[in-house]
Amino acid sequence: MKHLVLENLPATGDRVTLEGERQHYLVNVRRLRPGDSVLCTDGSDRLASVTVRAVTERTITLMVDHELRNGMPHTAPSVEAGSISRGAELHAYLPLLKGRQFDRALRQLAELGVRHIVPVFTRHCVSKSDIAADERKRARRETILREACQQSGRTDLPVLGQLVPLATDPDAAIAGPGVVFHEKATTYLTDSDVERLRREEPVVRVLSGPEGGLADEEIAALRGARWIVRALPTPVLRAETAAVAASAIVFHILSRYTAGSV
């Protein structure tokens, strides 16, 4: 079921009036009218039932009827069975990609269930690193994450990290443990790999390369920071597809591990 993500969710009995893109989404996309009900979340697993009280050309007014649950993440049954949301978090390090490819990968990672997404600048990124420009894009990216949650029915809003450079110095590399997928790797990720990662920390980190791939020095630095290097069991993928495939593979193994089947 699709939820409306509203970061400042009012208390039971209170009303909130929305305009702009959210009014458009509810009135023109969801076709809600006075008297209709919709589920609303604040992005931190708080879920409430709200009723449409009024609709105008530019606004929609909602009233919170009651909260359904607090602190219970809404996830797909297969993920719930694996206890991923309760037992581990998947953090994806997403390289800067050209054009709208980064936005597409960001949306798909959010729909997949990734908890934390960190933009990464690497040596061979086609897009250039610009902290100021990255901050200007943050509002659009946070909107993408919110819309992805509404589409997928998530009640936990993913965290969007700050842009970080991928260092070539092991002492300055992104801290592991984690798994980096690389085209030169000769072995695939196994259940025992994920079990080992999961034993070390409750966070499992995933990284794949940009359009130009990861430099040998970057891979060496990641190894020095306790990252394992594995190959994707697929043909050569576009960078944005590889990022999503990498996270999906880890999710699949992780769900079996947390379910106790590894």
pLDDT tens digit sequence for 124-160: 887 766 666 677 788 889 889 988 888 787 777 889 9
pLDDT of 157: 83
Q: Of 44, 70, 96, at which residue does a domain stop?
A: 70
> Band of the pLDDT at 45, cuts 50, 70, 90?
low
Please give the angle made by the CA atoms of 93, 116 and 252, to the nearest 5 degrees.
80
**How far is the C-alpha of 234 from the C-alpha of 163, rounded, in Å?**
28
pLDDT higher than threshold 80 for residue 55: yes
pLDDT of residue 88: 66
Residues 81 and 66 in one domain: no
Looking at the structure, tell me whether residues 129 and 91 fall in a common domain.
Answer: yes
**CA–CA dist 156, 42 (Å, integer):** 8
Q: Are residues 39 and 167 in the same domain?
A: no
Please report, for the domain that includes residue 10, its CATH number. 2.40.240.20
Confidence grade of residue 116 (pLDDT, cut at 50, 70, 90): very high
What is the extent of the structural domain holding 91? 77-258
Shared-domain flag, residues 140 and 62:
no
User: Rounded mean pLDDT of the chain?
Assistant: 83
Q: What's the number of domains the chain is made of?
A: 2
Domain check: are 65 and 124 in the same one?
A: no
CATH code (residue 210)? 3.40.1280.10
By CB atoms closer than 10 A (0-12, 13-18, 19+), residue 172 is: exposed
Q: Does residue 53 sit in the same domain as residue 83?
A: no
Question: Which pLDDT tens digit goes with each residue over 196-236?
Answer: 888 888 889 999 999 889 999 999 999 999 999 999 999 88
